[in-house]
């Protein structure tokens, strides 16, 4: 204990919590429920904002092992992306989204179970921060106030009179720590309101919070007792599921759907704020994505195979193999994916959320599902579909193993194009190598796994009267699905 105190001072560790809920519909079609923006690589082609967020608090001298609170459906992506950057975390799974108050309550309870006075740092998984050192310095400063019993936020110095952010009016300087008491939280203002707020020294509400676990629990008990009770019951009845902690669905469902801002921050007398000026964006719209990206001389931010004629100040993002071209336009967003294309006025890119609502109302599958669907064992992607057939490309990671399954309405032909497959068909087990094929008759019990050291890729040709995903009868699954 002595040497630990010598290296980290007398301060308790900061316990980072990454909130990963949210489906990011305003960045459709790159972000969809099946691969929301915090996991997509929209800003940086190498790293998702979730990964960048986790790496920002990876310094073990300053931060404890992080906790990730994610939607149950995102659990394999979250775990896989952490593994890619060499990190591990406690992953708590929300059976359904109940907004941020419930998630913060779970985070505070989880931290308190280890140390009631633990300092908890709540972070969004989908923000871009331009200066990690400045961020950590701000967190260290805010931690002082947290230790002194404040619920601290990071308040971003505004760079423009944004109307799509909440603002924080600061009051007097805190007596015992850096920062200010919060005078008032102000909802998204008008343009004129934003200008007045900025003139008065107000800050953008970033959604980052630092608090002592016991302080937050006391405030939740006072202002949001239902949320706290539901979160506590959900955590007490949580089930371990592989490496995940699955919150109890029935208990969690009793948590009111409310944000931590409404539930606690706007009511507590303990709110404090540390002003920060590092580059920050919540990348909430395609316009915001364009703003954080590098631009060429014409003000364009380009990704993938793109060709332009006389086009300016635009974001053109060509995902997949296709070629995307733009002629004679300014201030537009063009995002192309293999199954869906968005063309929008940059100024109206906030309306993409409304568009996705329209797509859902009309039952377009592209509203929520990506063509490439990630699974714990790898991914699959439909590459063709016709009247009585469907073709998929399937990748299985080394050691990956699909469920033991059968289909009532289709036969399948598998052609291995990379790696080696171990295929079980009824009683028989076969190794199928590159350039070999195997046939799975209708009704046969089968299982695919990758016993090798490199990813396995195969082409699956399904033939039958019905090729929907719901004609999969799972008999056994190592991933507990």
Binding site for a copy of itself (CB under 8 A): 29, 305, 307, 309-310, 318, 321-329, 332, 334, 336, 338-345, 347-349, 351-352, 354-355, 358-359, 362, 364, 366, 383-389, 391, 393, 411, 413, 415, 417-418, 434-435, 437, 439, 457, 459, 461, 463-464
Nearer to a copy of itself (CB atom), residue 270 or residue 392? 392
Least distance from a copy of itself to the Cβ atom of residue 26, Å: 11
* Burial class for 243, CB neighbours closer than 10 Å (0-12, 13-18, 19+): exposed
Cβ proximity to a copy of itself, 205 vs 349, nearer residue: 349
Task: Name which of 231 and 335 has its Cβ closer to a copy of itself.
Answer: 335
Dihedral, 238, 475, 77, 449 alpha carbons, nearest 10: 140
Residue 8 vs 381, nearer CB to a copy of itself: 381
Indicate the DSSP class of residue 95: S
According to DSSP, the β-strands at 203-212 and 151-156 are antiparallel
* Shortest Å, Cβ 452 to a copy of itself: 15
Structure tokens at 272: 């404090």
**321 close to 371: Cβ distance less than 8 angstroms:** no
Shortest distance, position 384 Cβ to a copy of itself, whole Å: 4
Residue number, 97 or 338, with CB nearest to a copy of itself = 338
**Closer residue to a copy of itself, CB minimum distance, 59 or 296:** 296
DSSP, residue by residue, 377-443: TEEEEEEEEETTEEEEEEEE-TT-BPPEEE-SSEEEEEEEEES-EEEEETTEEEEE-TT-EEEE-TT
Q: CB of residue 36 vs a copy of itself: minimum separation in angstroms?
A: 18
Closer to a copy of itself by CB, 80 or 330: give it: 330
Nearer to a copy of itself, 321 or 427 (CB): 321
On the 0-12 / 13-18 / 19+ scale of CB atoms within 10 A, 74 is buried
Residue 213's alpha-carbon distances to 105, 210, 415, 476, in angstroms, are 9, 9, 54, 40
To a copy of itself, the closest distance from the beta carbon of 85 in angstroms equals: 25
Least Å distance, CB 250 to a copy of itself, is 37
Please, which residue, 6 or 361, has the CB nearer to a copy of itself? 361
**Strands 271-276 vs 151-156: parallel, antiparallel or unpaired:** parallel
> CA torsion 282→288→291→293, rounded to 10°?
70
Helix-helix angle 213-223:99-114, to 10 degrees: 140
Q: How far is the CB of 378 from a copy of itself (least distance, A)?
A: 14
As measured in angstroms, the least distance from the Cβ of 260 to a copy of itself is: 31
Q: How far apart are CA 406 and CA 447, in angstroms?
A: 9
Contact in structure between 450 and 394 (CB atoms under 8 Å): no
Q: Give the nearer residue to a copy of itself in terms of CB position, either 13 or 412.
A: 412
Q: Are the CB atoms for 54 and 132 separated by under 8 Å?
A: no
Nearest to 461 by CA among 425, 426, 415, 418: 415
Smaller CB separation from a copy of itself, 222 or 383 = 383
Q: Are 198 and 228 in contact (CB under 8 A)?
A: no
> For residues 324 and 424, which CB has a smaller minimum distance to a copy of itself in the complex?
324
Residue closer to a copy of itself, measured from CB, 257 or 388: 388
| Minimum distance from residue 165 beta carbon to a copy of itself (Å) | 21
Which among 150, 213, 154 has a CA at the least distance from the CA of 176?
150
- The answer to whether 38 touches 19, Cβ cutoff 8 Å, is no
* Cβ neighbours of 160 (radius 10 Å): 10
Write down the least CB distance from residue 376 to a copy of itself, Å.
22
Contact 219, 266 (CB under 8 A): no
The least distance separating a copy of itself from the CB of residue 372, rounded to whole angstroms, comes to 12
Q: Report, in Å, the least distance between residue 314 CB and a copy of itself.
A: 9
Nearest to 460 by CA among 381, 372, 369, 365: 381
Q: How far is CA 107 from CA 93, 232, 239, 440, in A?
A: 11, 10, 16, 47
* Least distance CB 296 / a copy of itself (angstroms): 16
Report the distance separating Cα 217 and Cα 116, nearest Å: 9
């Amino acid at each position: 204990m002595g040497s630990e105190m010598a290296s980290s001072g007398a301060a308790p560790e900061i316990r980072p919590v990454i909130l990963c809920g949210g489906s990011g519909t305003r960045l459709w079609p790159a972000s969809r429920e099946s691969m929301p923006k915090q996991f997509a690589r929209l800003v940086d082609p190498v790293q998702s904002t979730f990964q960048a967020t986790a790496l920002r608090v990876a310094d073990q001298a300053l931060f404890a092992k992080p906790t990730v609170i994610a939607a149950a459906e995102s659990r394999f992506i979250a775990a896989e992306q952490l593994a890619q950057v060499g990190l591990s975390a406690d992953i708590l799974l929300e059976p359904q989204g109940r907004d941020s108050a419930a998630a913060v309550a779970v985070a505070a309870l989880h931290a308190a179970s280890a140390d009631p006075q633990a300092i908890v740092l709540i972070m969004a998984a989908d923000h871009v921060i331009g200066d990690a050192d400045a961020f950590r310095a701000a967190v260290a400063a805010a931690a002082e106030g947290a230790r002194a019993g404040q619920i601290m936020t990071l308040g971003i110095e505004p760079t423009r009179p944004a109307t799509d952010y909440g603002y924080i009016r600061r009051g007097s300087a805190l007596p015992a720590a850096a920062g200010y008491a919060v005078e008032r939280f102000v909802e998204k203002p008008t343009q004129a309101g934003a200008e007045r707020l900025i003139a008065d020294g107000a800050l953008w509400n970033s959604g980052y919070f630092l608090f002592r676990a016991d302080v937050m629990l006391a405030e939740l008990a006072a202002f949001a007792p239902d949320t706290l009770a539901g979160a506590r019951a959900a955590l007490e009845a949580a089930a371990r599921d592989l490496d995940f902690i699955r919150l109890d669905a029935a208990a969690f469902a009793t948590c009111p759907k409310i944000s931590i801002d409404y539930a606690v921050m706007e009511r507590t007398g303990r709110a404090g704020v540390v002003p920060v000026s590092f580059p920050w964006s919540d990348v909430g719209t395609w316009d915001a994505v364009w703003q954080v990206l590098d631009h060429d001389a014409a003000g364009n931010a380009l990704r993938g195979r793109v060709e332009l004629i006389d086009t300016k100040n635009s974001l053109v993002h060509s995902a997949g193999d296709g070629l995307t071209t733009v002629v004679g336009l300014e201030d537009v967003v063009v995002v192309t994916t293999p199954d869906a294309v968005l063309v929008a006025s940059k100024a109206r890119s906030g309306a993409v959320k409304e568009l996705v609502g329209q797509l859902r109302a009309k039952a377009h599958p592209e509203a929520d599902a990506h063509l490439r669907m990630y699974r714990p064992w790898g991914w699959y992607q439909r590459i063709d579909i016709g009247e009585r057939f469907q073709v998929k490309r399937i990748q299985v990671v080394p050691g990956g193993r699909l469920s033991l399954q059968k289909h009532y309405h289709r036969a399948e032909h598998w052609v291995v194009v990379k790696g080696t497959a171990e295929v079980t068909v009824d009683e028989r087990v076969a190794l199928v190598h590159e350039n070999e094929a195997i046939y799975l008759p209708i009704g046969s019990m089968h299982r695919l796994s990758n016993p090798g050291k490199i990813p396995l890729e195969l082409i699956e040709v399904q033939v039958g009267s019905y090729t929907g995903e719901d004609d999969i009868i799972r008999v056994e699954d190592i991933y507990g699905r």
